[in-house]
Amino acid sequence: MKGLFIQKKIILLIIVIFIFSSTASASQLYNEKNPCFIYLKINEFEENLLVISGNSPPETPDINGPTIGKPGIELEYTIVSTDPESNDIVYCYDWGDDTGQVCIGPYPSGEEVIISHTWTENGTYTITVKASDIFGEESGIASIKVKISTSRNIVRNRNMILELIRFFNIMKGKL
């Protein structure tokens, strides 16, 4: 008996249909998002047997990059996730500054992807990243906080001003 497996996915609904060359047939409706395993016992078969199991979501992505920066300076971040079935991955990320969510891909499972952004205002921003496989299974959300500030320049300028005051006080004493 030769079998053909057909899978259709509509949002969270999966329909599984088995088509056999004999008069036997079976179908089952799955409406849960969790992975499922399909077992089929065949008493008589020839050669073409295909076994497919459920789909799992990608791992929560890793995000790496600087946690401090200055307004107007572009910062780069590396994101990566792996999918248990090695399905290609789409990444959706948000910079936390009301510029909206961006989705890119698909990329091969495990491939590092570089994203970059320039913040225009001081503040602490939370970058969030989510991975989805090409069948729509979504990972958890990864995040990293980034502080954008010009205060580092103020501290450096403050030290320079203190040095100038000391210098002029020394010079004042020599006059």
Q: How far is CA 132 from CA 20, 42, 55, 91, in A?
A: 33, 35, 12, 6
Domains of the chain by start residue, with CATH: 1-54 (no CATH), 62-152 (2.60.40.10)
Residue 61: its pLDDT value, please?
98
Residue 151: its pLDDT value, please?
72
Residue-wise pLDDT for 30-79, tens only, equals: 555 555 555 555 555 555 555 556 789 999 999 999 999 999 999 999 99
With bands split at pLDDT 50, 70 and 90, how would you rate the model's confidence at 137? very high
Residue-wise pLDDT for 7-42, tens only, equals: 444 444 445 555 555 555 555 555 555 555 555 555
With bands split at pLDDT 50, 70 and 90, how would you rate the model's confidence at 168? confident
DSSP state of 62: E
Instruction: Name the one residue in this structure whose structure tokens are 């992505």.
Output: 61
Residue 5: its pLDDT value, please?
45
pLDDT top residue among 14 and 127: 127
Residue 163: its pLDDT value, please?
81
CA gap 42, 3 in Å, rounded: 10
CA gap 170, 163 in Å, rounded: 11
Mean pLDDT score, 84-98: 96
Residue pair 112/80 in contact by the 8 Å Cβ criterion? yes
CA gap 132, 135 in Å, rounded: 8
Residue 44: its pLDDT value, please?
57
Mean pLDDT score, 117-129: 97
Residue 164: its pLDDT value, please?
78
Contacts of residue 11, defined as CB under 8 A and 6 or more positions apart, other chains included, come to 136
- Judged by DSSP in three states, 16 sits in strand
